[in-house]
Amino acid sequence: MADVIWCKKVVGGKPCNTVNYLDPYCFWNWEGKTNCAECGTVYYIYMIQGHMYRGPEEKPGEKPDMSPLYADHPLEGYTYYLPGVKGRTRPFECLPRHIYLGRADMVKFSIRGRPVRGWRPQPPSGGLAGQFPYKWDIKKLSPEVWAEYQEKKKKGEVKEW
């Protein structure tokens, strides 16, 4: 369960009324400053085992150490700030790194060096989603993979089951 900071600072003649959600993963045992996602007010908090030990105390003119993960306005029709809004909320820490966001690698051979049926791109003769029959003829389906398999066998890279 996330702890919250409900910002009540008066900005432009009306209260901010933003609920800033502090996810327990990052704020479990934490001491520092966090900001309000709407008005940018910086609050000092000290959390021990997920409970607010000290704070929130306003720290005007200081920079936040970490932003909340999510924020919303429950009294104003639930407008919200999703994770990753620059300067307001921080991004998910569990998103895949940039090296995992490319195209998938084409796997033609198993870990033992044997050809697998699921490589891409599949030829049109495979039908819907490459559904070849149980007995598949690799020589007809992909002559280049068959030739590569023969080379692997010659080099001794194919292991027995």
Count structural domains, the chain.
Answer: 2
96 inside domain: no
pLDDT value of position 23: 85
82 plus 115 within the same structural domain? no
Cβ distance 82 to 72 under 8 Å?
A: no
Res 114: pLDDT: 83
* 71 inside domain: yes
82/9 same-domain check: yes
Dihedral sign for Cα atoms in the order 30, 20, 6, 16: positive
Which residues, including other chains, have CB under 8 Å from residue 30's CB and lie 6 or more apart? 45, 46, 47, 66
pLDDT of residue 119: 65
> Residue 26 corresponds to which amino acid?
C
Residues 26 and 74 in one domain: yes
Q: Is the pLDDT of residue 83 over 80?
A: yes
Q: Tell me, yes or no, whether 97 lies in a domain.
A: no
Average pLDDT over residues 95-116: 70
Distance between CA 20 and CA 36 in Å, rounded?
6
User: Is 114 inside any structural domain?
Assistant: yes
User: pLDDT tens digits for 54-81?
Assistant: 989 999 999 999 999 889 998 887 788 8
More confident residue, 17 or 26: 17
Task: Determine the residue type at 106.
Answer: M
The mean pLDDT of the chain is 82
Same domain assignment for residues 78 and 106? no
Q: Assign residue 87 a region (left: φ > 0; alpha: ψ between -120 and 50; beta: otherwise).
A: left
Query: Do 68 and 36 have their domain in common?
Result: yes
pLDDT of 42 reads 96
How would you list the strands of the sheet with 30-35, edge to edge?
30-35, 42-48, 51-58
Average pLDDT over residues 18-35: 90
Q: Which domain holds residue 23?
A: 3-91
Q: Which of 59, 91, 123 is the last residue of a domain?
A: 91
